């Protein structure tokens, strides 16, 4: 198995982008990544695309061949992977596997979603199909509801407060102020979060990530080939994926995700690392409680300590463990298929020192956690600064 | 890169299966494949599922974790791949890559679709989203229309007649009589095909594959581990995938698919084989003209000779090149995500001598061709009888 490098990243503006298709968004992000990597069209051997649902949002399935089509990559194999909001992470993971396994040399991994074509209620209904339709959705569960139940369980078990959750949103909005491609550039306060519209008790509007259009892309090559291209390389130290039951009622605990624990632990084992070795993190803050649970489940904080850490500012850009410096899903935006790719792009840029105004100094090793459904899919990656 | 074996196959009945979910269908097919392989739940390291659209047909996205959930495989990574009607072939291909690359040892590759929940017109409209929505579907193109244009082009260029196309349908219906799991057990005649309801001129009802529910599964392990299990092994000699433009107007020729040519050629090269080495084939006969074009593009017949070969009976079970002995998409049925997996299951069974009443004697090497959209995705596999 070959070591693998990421040598280029690209990302469109995230937001409500109007009359544009996800295919066009991917094309923009991919061209940016190819230019950043110094890779030509003729170098690309295969394409992966993470997308939740082109059919519901854009009346377009079979997104995969559309990417090489628009990029002018004739006959290059292209595959779509889907695992709800973890589609992007799995896109990159499969590109890494394809290169590590020796099947292809230069792979474009992208992700995209064009969500704002539909009204909010339709989007919430569409996303709910990532939960268990038979046992949950038919009874009225949507994701704000599911994560509200988790927030309540976490509150009851560990005393995690609305203010602690709100601190996550405030931090990620602060971070997004430094990310020109983020959806929101708006400073908020704990009071504003706590007093905003109730969405699913106890989660308010500002506890929830927004509906977003956008695309992201990275270029993956064998580590030994990294010097062939101009792009600054980071090394893929490890990746790991885990699944869990579709329905929450089949799980023993609602205060965390077994999948996050397993995927993170495997990623650490495969990399020969521990939580203390990680300098920077992008985790899946689809709701504020999800960031708190992620940091606990990954082993960065004991269960019940994640909320306090947010409130104490430990996870801010200048804190002891910078988390979601990109703005996270909460403020950078959450175009489903793009999210996991954008997380990896952010960590890549941070480790290369190309993160611009939001650059965190002296980061050597970074990690991502990308979640699908009610944590039914989790994929983690660990990346290291290159030479 | 490790050699890979397929050691088990499973398949539900194909047809209109009533009130059942694709998750339940995959579970049945997977359990059959696991029993056939002699593999226990605890052996399975990863799952791949090919599915076109759980959201449109079943109000369920995120199919991947549902499979290990129902199978009782706790926390096993599970990934959905989608490339229109080639989703199943890509599911198996990614299982093979995962094992060959050394990422996992025992992988379940499945495919499923539950299509008959919707009326026919809705299904045709849903499937059309696999063509180019911007340039084709918005102007009224559906797949019967697209393949009708190809049939007309083939007719004009090579004189391929309605009778030649009909011979494909007659043959595949005859083959399906020997497949207890096929959707149709109905002998038809050339006259019946030619005189049946016109769907998209010149394609009639019997030129078209049906709308089908069903699932299929195979078990993939390292070749060196095949003797650990009871299942009879076949060897994966090669696989290859190619893409093409989404829109037909971007192509130079409508009488064949560049993707089929490229994928087949790569599969032959990687296996060190030629068309003459292949004893049995399953190809993607979504429409009768598609089987004719596939055999020509893969190099089994010169362009323009495929129709004659069908009419002369060369591709019948007892002919010189048995094609779609399972009944093909035309008569076995075409549950989109399951089709590519079912093709590989059929070739596996034929090479192992476990194909029952439709067993073709003395077959050593078999090949599959699985098509997505208007040939925008093609994936080919070559398999060889084991020891």
Interface test with B, best of A24, A48, A82 (most B CBs within 10 A): A82
Closest CA of chain A from B105, distance in Å: 14
Q: What is the ipTM of this complex?
A: 0.97
Given pLDDT bands bounded at 50, 70 and 90, which one contains residue B387? Answer: confident
Average pLDDT in chain B: 97
Verify that B273 and B145 share a domain, yes or no: yes
Average pLDDT in chain A: 97
Verify that A220 and A296 share a domain, yes or no: no
User: The tokens of A89 are what?
Assistant: 């992470």
Residue B72 has pLDDT above 90, yes or no: yes
Verify that B162 and B92 share a domain, yes or no: no
Of A80, A103, A259, the CB nearest to B75: A259
Q: Which residues fall within 8 angstroms of residue B171, CB to CB, at 6 or more apart?
A: B310, B313, B315, B316, B323, B324
Q: Is there a domain that residue B126 lies in?
A: no
Number of domains observed in the structure of chain A:
2
Q: Is there a domain that residue B301 lies in?
A: yes
Does the active-site annotation cover B130? no
Q: Is there a domain that residue A172 lies in?
A: yes
Closest CA of chain B from A240, distance in Å: 9
How confident is the model over A23-42, as a mean pLDDT?
97
Verify that B100 and B221 share a domain, yes or no: yes
Verify that A180 and A57 share a domain, yes or no: no
How confident is the model over B370-376, as a mean pLDDT?
97
DSSP result, B138-198: GGT--HHHHHHHHHHHHHHHH---HHHHHHHHHHHHHHHTT-TT-S------HHHHHHSPE
- Beta carbons of B62 and A90 less than 8 Å apart: no
pTM: 0.98
How confident is the model over B129-135, as a mean pLDDT?
95
How confident is the model over A110-121, as a mean pLDDT?
96
Verify that B138 and B93 share a domain, yes or no: no
- Beta carbons of B61 and A80 less than 8 Å apart: no
Q: Is there a domain that residue A160 lies in?
A: yes
DSSP result, A129-142: TTS-TTTTGGGT--
Query: What residues in A contact B76, CB-CB < 8 Å?
Result: 242-243
How confident is the model over A108-112, as a mean pLDDT?
98
The CATH number of the domain holding residue A302 is 3.40.47.10
Q: What is the pLDDT of residues A167-209, one digit of tens each?
A: 999 999 999 999 999 999 999 999 999 999 999 999 999 999 9
Query: What residues in B contact A89, CB-CB < 8 Å?
Result: none
Verify that A297 and A166 share a domain, yes or no: yes
**CA separation (Å) from A270 to A69, A236, A274, A301, A382?**
36, 11, 10, 21, 10
Of all residues in chain A, the percent with pLDDT exceeding 70 is 100
Of all residues in chain B, the percent with pLDDT exceeding 70 is 100
Contact B75, A242 (CB under 8 A): yes
Verify that A107 and A17 share a domain, yes or no: yes
Residue A387 has pLDDT above 90, yes or no: no
Contact A135, A246 (CB under 8 A): yes
Domain that holds residue A41: 4-119+212-234
Q: Is there a domain that residue A304 lies in?
A: yes
The residues that bridge with B48 in the sheet, in sequence order, are B79, B109
Give the chain A residue whose CA is nearest to the CA of B74. Answer: A244
Interface test with B, best of A19, A77, A128 (most B CBs within 10 A): A77
- The pLDDT, as a whole number, for residue B325 is 98
Interface test with B, best of A52, A61, A100 (most B CBs within 10 A): A61
- The pLDDT, as a whole number, for residue A17 is 98
Verify that A89 and A174 share a domain, yes or no: no
Residue A372 has pLDDT above 90, yes or no: yes
- The pLDDT, as a whole number, for residue A138 is 92
> How many other CB atoms are found less than 10 A from the CB of residue A138?
10
Residue B147 has pLDDT above 90, yes or no: yes
Does the active-site annotation cover B208? no
- Beta carbons of B61 and A101 less than 8 Å apart: no
How confident is the model over B144-167, as a mean pLDDT?
98
Of A52, A81, A102, the CB nearest to B61: A52
Residue A12 has pLDDT above 90, yes or no: yes
Query: What residues in A contact B74, CB-CB < 8 Å?
Result: 244
Q: What is the pLDDT of residues B306-357, one digit of tens each?
A: 999 999 999 999 999 999 999 999 999 999 999 999 999 999 999 999 999 9
Closest CA of chain B from A87, distance in Å: 9
Verify that A137 and A227 share a domain, yes or no: no
Q: Is there a domain that residue B67 lies in?
A: yes
Verify that B378 and B334 share a domain, yes or no: yes
Verify that B66 and B180 share a domain, yes or no: no
The residues that bridge with B342 in the sheet, in sequence order, are none
Q: How many CA atoms lie within 13 A of A184 on its CB side?
A: 24
Of B77, B90, B129, the CB nearest to A61: B129
Given pLDDT bands bounded at 50, 70 and 90, which one contains residue B208? Answer: very high
Last residue of a domain, one of B234, B268, B301: B234
- The pLDDT, as a whole number, for residue B109 is 98
Q: Is there a domain that residue A348 lies in?
A: no
Q: What is the pLDDT of residues A259-295, one digit of tens each?
A: 999 999 999 999 999 999 999 999 999 999 999 999 9
Q: Is there a domain that residue A371 lies in?
A: yes
């Amino acid at each position: 198995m070959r070591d693998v490098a990421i040598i280029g990243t690209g990302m469109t503006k995230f937001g409500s982008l109007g009359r544009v298709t996800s295919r066009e968004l991917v094309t923009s992000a991919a061209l940016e990544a190819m230019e950043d990597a110094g890779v030509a069209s003729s170098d690309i051997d295969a394409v992966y695309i993470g997308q939740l649902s082109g059919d519901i949002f854009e009346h377009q399935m079979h997104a995969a061949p559309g990417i090489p089509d628009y990029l002018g990559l004739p006959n290059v194999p292209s595959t779509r992977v889907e695992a709800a909001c973890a589609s992007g992470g799995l896109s990159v993971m499969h590109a890494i596997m394809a290169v590590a396994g020796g099947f292809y040399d230069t792979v474009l991994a992208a992700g995209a979603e064009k969500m704002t074509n539909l009204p909010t209620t339709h989007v919430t209904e569409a996303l709910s199909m990532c939960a268990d339709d038979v046992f949950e959705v038919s009874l009225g569960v949507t994701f704000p509801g599911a994560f509200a139940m988790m927030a309540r369980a976490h509150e009851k078990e560990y005393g995690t407060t609305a203010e602690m959750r709100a601190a996550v949103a405030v931090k990620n909005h602060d971070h997004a102020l430094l990310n020109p491609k983020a959806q929101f550039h708006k400073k908020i306060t704990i009071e504003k979060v706590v007093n905003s519209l109730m969405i699913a008790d106890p989660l308010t509007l500002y506890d929830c990530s927004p509906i977003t259009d956008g695309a992201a892309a990275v270029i993956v090559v064998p580590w030994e080939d990294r010097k062939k291209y101009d792009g600054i390389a980071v090394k893929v130290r490890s990746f790991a994926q885990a699944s869990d039951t579709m329905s929450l009622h089949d799980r023993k605990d609602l205060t965390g995700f077994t999948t996050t624990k397993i995927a993170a632990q495997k990623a650490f084992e495969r990399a020969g690392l521990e939580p203390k070795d990680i300098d920077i993190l992008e985790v899946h803050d689809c709701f504020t409680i999800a960031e708190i649970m992620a940091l606990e489940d990954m082993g960065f904080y004991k269960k019940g300590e994640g909320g306090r850490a947010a409130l104490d500012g430990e996870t801010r850009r200048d804190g002891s463990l910078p988390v979601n410096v990109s703005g996270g899903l909460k403020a950078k935006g959450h175009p489903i298929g793009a999210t996991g790719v954008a997380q990896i792009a952010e960590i890549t840029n941070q480790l290369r020192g190309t993160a611009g105004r939001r650059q965190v100094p002296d980061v050597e090793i970074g990690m991502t956690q990308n979640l699908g459904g009610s944590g039914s899919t989790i994929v983690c990656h660990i990346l290291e600064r290159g030479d």
